Amino acid sequence: MALSIPSASARQWKYDVFLSFRGETRHGFVSHLYDELESTGMISTFMDEEKLEVGKAISPNLVMAIEESRFAIVVLSPNYASSPWCLDELAKVLQSMEGRDRILPIFYHVDPSHVRHQLGSFAEAFTKHEENSRHSKEKLDQWRLALKNVADLSGWDAKNLRSERELVKRIVKFVCNKALQVSPRPIPIEFKAQPTEYIESTTRARDKLTQLLKDNEITVIGVFGKGGVGKRTMVKHVGAQARELRLVHYVIRAVVAQSPDLRNIQSTLANQLGLKFEEEETEIGRAARLKERIMGGNKILIVLVDIWRRIDLSSIGIPNYNELQRHNSKLILTSRSRSVCYSMQCQASIPLPILSEEDSWNLFVEKSGKSFHESTELYDVARTVARECGGLPLALITVAGVLGDKDIEDWKEAAQRLDRSQTVNLEDEGDVYKCIKFSYDYLRSDDAKSFFLLCCLFPEDYDIPFEDLLKYAIGKGLLQDANTIQEARATANLVIKSLKAFSLLLEGTKEGCVRMHDVVRDVALSISFSEDGHKFLVKAGCELQHWPRIKAHGGYSAISLMRNKICKLPKEESPSRDYSSKPYCSHDLSRTLTLSTTINTLPDWFIKVVAEKAEKLQYLKCKGLKNILVEHDRGRLHGLKYLAVIGPHEYLAVLMETITRVTNVSVFKNLEELHLLGVSCLKELCVGELPLGSLFNLKSLKVEYCHDLVNALLSSNLLQRLQNLEKLHCEDMNVMEYVFGFEGLEPEDIILPKLREMILWDLEKLISIWSGPAPNAVFHNLKSLAVSGCKKLESLFTYEVAKCLLQLEDLSVTQCPSLDMVIKSSKEVVDKKIIFPELRNLALSYLPRITRFCSSGIATMECPSLEHLHVQDCPHFTTSTSDFHCLKQFQVNDLRHLRMSKDMDNINLAGQHTKNILESLPQNVRKRVEVIREIENQHHELEAEFFKESALLEAKYHKLYQPLYSKRYLIVNGVVEAEGVATEAVADQEDKTAKERGVPDFWLNALKNNELLAKEITEHDEGALKYLRDIKWFKIHNSKGFKLQFYFDTNPFFKNSVLTKTYHMIDEDKPNNVAGTEIEWYPAKCPTQKILKKKRKKGSKNSKPLTKTENCKSFFNLFSPPQVSKDDEVIDEFAAEELKNQKKHDYDVGSTICYKIIPHAVSWFTGEAF
């Protein structure tokens, strides 16, 4: 019978993408690509562990990963072919992937023809392979064919794209689309489950739900219980467990809420299935496409959370129950009411009861972080507080978080307040309400209370952006102590952290967002409606089509009408005495306004409100933007601090135009942040000259994806107004040639005196950072500059501007293919010196044309503070460490770009006197010295080659050592017998006591016979070290560091079979980062700690002795290297010196084992070396 092999579209793949790459790209491009693929939530990606690269053949696990992947992305980098391991992997990929469209090559800084025909670096690699007798001709031919075949496939050539970022975006988009075309199956969404083992009732419900998911006859399951009892957490845990048990392949989830928003529910589910809707699609059309996608999959678990009443699932796009059953899919519904589960025709319903008193107490103790002793007053009070929480996990966690670090008096007050609490009728949720209200009242800061209430303005289960909260907080007049938006942002961050600590807010599902539990939101709404609240009117997500009737004198401080279908605003006041068709605005309403609407025209009263009161204003694809700009030009928005314009605006060609203005009033004089994103029609920021005082307080300007902006972003007229600008971020603009226009400025003009940070990314047509002659003192406070993806940029600075960069600390230049030097000087500049006194970090990467840092007119460059020099993929760039005249030792990532890397300190010290010595010499002698300098430069180049070849030689001989170490291991451990040793029978006759195999205690004695190590080994250590079978060391790839591995037999001291110690080095004897293994000691077996017992005082009720754990000296402390505690980031001088000595001693021990004990172990064992 023929074996049927499933097709690519029918198979169930473990991975969507297998990444094949050379180690040189692991920590850069490949890591970036892997993170972006995984962050989609759609693509499961296999990327091997770094340790897998050490070895001669690909492992069975790797072969299996290739066979279980739908696609392979092959990153062909310059050194790819130098690795036999990579070539074997490529051959396996081509063999396993039966469809050519499943292999996606990336030509990463290599020419496809070089791959196809093995030219350039690929030719060099094959020359070395041919010289290596281990590789047969058949193997070499197999590799050549694999390279030819992969080069013939359609892929991406990095040099054809603007930047690495753009390359990654394209790959991710293509792979997502490709994955969905191959199979319409849904994409997995990972749910991280929270432990619930301490809750017996939850465990029973969870187990029952899991059993029902295994039942093929059950398709729809309901879970019901009080608000705050833990339904979402339990269902999330079961979903994750169901995937692990392979009961389902994918889990998708959406919140329904009290006022269901069908479009939002549809989008939430669709996004998890890799399905995108168009904005203009109807709900019916969306439902049809969503149903088609779900029906195209298999074993999908759909979770609908927080259902309040019967809903029509077909209107969302969820197939009927029979259709779900045919595709082995399941549906779980959660609700507070059993009757809702009945109305939804659930085939089984599971109640989730409140916790028992004991379970409640255990959870309460865990979340409070305190210890409660039964005989104390605090124990009794805490028990009372826990009982008041009514067995609801949400209430228990919230109250425990508030009281955790409080003293006994606070606990007593809490018990009394909770006992006295009178709760309003919240659908029989009194216990949880009073507990959350208590936590709210316990907030010491009015700002914290206000932030908490602001969150209820957003719809239920909404990912609330932190930046939006910040805008509304400033708009409501909070954070009064902050003088700037930056200070306000820092304070707001602390407030949000405290609300999370009290469990009043949760982490959002999106980065930079928070969420509010639906029960907590109900309480917040109730508080905001009350007399002592903030008088909010919240109609978010209520499907309103018309402006609501609002009490004319309601005094609302905030109105939320998010997620409604209101198409126009009322024009006039309602004649009604009690109700108004337009809102009555209290003092701080409309100080913050976000416009994200399709409303065509904005009425005059609305414009007037905005113009008079707005402090933070954000436009998002708003058709009424033109009318608002009229108010800007009239200068009425004097209080505006933040302005964001996002998305296309058809009328917005110029942000600020002064030519037609009839007034000379300053505009945006209080504006601190300006953000322009994707404003496709915008051609210029400013036309004409702004009045004095305009934009005076602007500190941050961010312009992204504005593809029609021409000429210079900031013209000279505008630059003269930006006296307080601190941060400039420009990204992805297609036609802009300059960032600054200096034409018309005088040399003595003071421009951008406070600019500290500048980011210039993906500016495709950028010719130069500025046009026109630069003023004398420009950029003199600039601290950080990052330039990336600027294809036409040939240099960054002129000599004149570079002289001003006295505060520059960080400089990064990457992906600029035309750049041949960083500093370019004119012909008039001869034999000049330039100093960067504060430069600490310099990064140059993917610059194929760069040959030197400065042009020939600049004789010397000094960077006395340089700490890190990173040079990557700059094939023509070479420099010398002495070129930087650094006064300290700095870290270099790649010696290939350096002519010299030793004796840094000596060279720097000598360099300080160079000028004086040369000036004192006669001219002819000075010339002879310069010639000698050139001779020595040739020596430096040879020295760099020596270091490079030494590293290769060391690696070569390290491989040759391994068979010898293996033989030693076999004899030491009695696996084989040494030649010339008598057989057991003869040995018995010669020595009746001979019972040991191998060499007993070989490594223990070798270590003890070293004077340094002997001081580390205690009597307790010896028992464990008797089980030591072998010690090995490994060179760390692309590092001067090394790794030690200690192999142990099964023993009664600890569970580990291998203990590892890793040293990452700055230099040959200076560790940068040290890591060890966490040892899993058996009880009472740890030699690094001892337990001291002390009798209690007479009369104590507790007869048990007091115990105290104390650290003690041990060889095994080697695996817990000295570190600075996270709680002690700033330590005193004495502690710093102590830590320095500990680190030095730790390295001395490790290096002794690596370089002395391992290669000469028998000499140490016998004592000869000693």
pLDDT tens track for 140-177:
888 888 898 888 787 888 877 767 777 888 888 777 76
What is the per-residue pLDDT for 299? Answer: 79
Q: Averaging pLDDT over each range in 489-493, 709-713, 1017-1021, 1072-1076, which range is the top one?
A: 1017-1021
Average pLDDT over every residue of 336-346:
84
Give the helix ranges, DSSP H, for 40-120: 60-67, 84-96, 112-117
Q: Is residue 922 part of a domain?
A: no
5 Rama class: left (phi>0) / alpha (psi -120 to 50) / beta: beta
Q: How far does CA 1050 lie from the centroid of its chain?
A: 39
68 and 172 in a single domain? The answer is yes
What is the per-residue pLDDT for 465? Answer: 84
Question: How many residues are there in the chain?
Answer: 1170
Residue 696, judged by CB atoms within 10 A of its CB (0-12, 13-18, 19+), counts as middle
What is the per-residue pLDDT for 520? Answer: 79
Mean pLDDT of the chain: 75
Residue 963, judged by CB atoms within 10 A of its CB (0-12, 13-18, 19+), counts as exposed
Residue 892 has pLDDT above 70, yes or no: no
* Share in percent of the chain as helix, strand, coil (round to 5): 40, 20, 45
What is the per-residue pLDDT for 196? Answer: 42
Longest alpha-carbon distance in the chain: 121
Question: Which residues are within 8 A (CB) of 1097 and not within 5 positions of it... i.e. 6 or more apart?
Answer: none
Given 561, 589, 617, the domain boundary residue is 589
Q: How far does CA 356 lie from the centroid of its chain?
A: 40
Query: What is the enclosing helix (H) or strand (E) of 551?
Result: strand 550-551
Per cent of the chain over pLDDT 70 is 72
Number of independent structural domains in the chain: 6
Q: Is residue 233 part of a domain?
A: yes
Distance CA 1152, CA 785 (A): 43
Q: What are phi and psi of 628, to 5 degrees?
A: -65, -40
pLDDT in tens, 244-290: 777 887 788 888 877 788 888 888 888 777 777 877 778 888 888 88
Distance CA 585, CA 608 (A): 12
Extract the tokens encoding 519: 């029960």
Distance CA 879, CA 863 (A): 14
Given 571, 589, 607, the domain boundary residue is 589
694 and 718 in a single domain? The answer is yes
Nearest in space to 711 (alpha carbons), one of 743, 751, 754: 743
Beta bridge partners of 1108: 1092
> CB 1008: neighbour CB atoms within 10 A?
21
pLDDT in tens, 360-374: 787 888 777 777 777
DSSP-derived secondary structure letter, 439: H
As a whole number of Å, the CA-based R_g of the chain is 35
633 and 741 in a single domain? The answer is yes
The region of weakest confidence among 303-317, 551-565, 687-701, 964-978 is 551-565
832 and 735 in a single domain? The answer is no
697 and 792 in a single domain? The answer is no
Distance CA 312, CA 435 (A): 35
608 and 729 in a single domain? The answer is yes
What is the per-residue pLDDT for 601? Answer: 56
1006 and 1147 in a single domain? The answer is yes
564 and 624 in a single domain? The answer is no
**CATH number (domain holding residue 1032):** 3.30.1120.90
C-alpha distances in Å from residue 775, one per residue of 26, 474, 527, 748, 882: 43, 37, 58, 6, 31
Distance CA 635, CA 601 (A): 21
Distance CA 359, CA 535 (A): 38
Nearest in space to 894 (alpha carbons), one of 913, 918, 874: 874
Extract the tokens encoding 180: 């969905």
832 within 8 A of 863, measured Cβ to Cβ:
no
Nearest in space to 288 (alpha carbons), one of 255, 266, 321, 312: 266
Beta bridge partners of 1032: 1045
C-alpha distances in Å from residue 883, one per residue of 297, 474, 864, 1119: 62, 50, 11, 40
Distance CA 652, CA 645 (A): 10
Given 868, 895, 913, the domain boundary residue is 913
668 and 580 in a single domain? The answer is no
Q: Name the packing angle between helices 604-613 and 625-633 (round to 10°).
A: 50
Residue 969 has pLDDT above 60, yes or no: yes
Q: Is residue 682 part of a domain?
A: yes
Looking at residue 276, its amino acid is K
Looking at residue 254, its amino acid is A
Average pLDDT over every residue of 548-573:
63
52 within 8 A of 62, measured Cβ to Cβ:
yes
Q: Name the packing angle between helices 485-501 and 446-454 (round to 10°).
A: 80
736 and 805 in a single domain? The answer is no
Q: What are phi and psi of 12, to 5 degrees?
A: -95, 110
Q: Is residue 369 part of a domain?
A: no
What is the per-residue pLDDT for 1030? Answer: 92
What is the per-residue pLDDT for 757? Answer: 92
What is the per-residue pLDDT for 608? Answer: 60
The region of weakest confidence among 210-214, 441-445, 816-820, 914-918 is 914-918
Residue range of the domain that includes 314: 200-351
pLDDT in tens, 1094-1120: 666 566 666 666 666 778 889 999 998
Q: Is residue 381 part of a domain?
A: no
334 and 268 in a single domain? The answer is yes
849 and 821 in a single domain? The answer is yes
Beta bridge partners of 73: 19, 104
What is the per-residue pLDDT for 789? Answer: 86
Nearest in space to 111 (alpha carbons), one of 101, 122, 100, 102: 122
Average pLDDT over every residue of 213-217:
85
Position 40 confidence tier, pLDDT thresholds 50, 70, 90: low
Q: Is residue 1130 part of a domain?
A: yes
The region of weakest confidence among 597-606, 642-651, 1150-1159 is 597-606
> CB 234: neighbour CB atoms within 10 A?
26
Residue 427 has pLDDT above 50, yes or no: no
Q: Is residue 985 part of a domain?
A: no
Nearest in space to 799 (alpha carbons), one of 765, 767, 768, 774: 774
Q: Is residue 96 part of a domain?
A: yes
Distance CA 688, CA 662 (A): 13
Question: Which residues are within 8 A (CB) of 748 and not within 5 positions of it... i.e. 6 or more apart?
Answer: 775, 776
Extract the tokens encoding 840: 């600490």
* Residues 1025, 1026, 1032: CA angle, nearest 5 degrees: 60
Residue 533 has pLDDT above 50, yes or no: yes
pLDDT in tens, 752-791: 889 999 999 888 889 898 888 888 778 889 999 999 888 8
SS3 317: coil
Distance CA 521, CA 257 (A): 11
Position 919 confidence tier, pLDDT thresholds 50, 70, 90: low
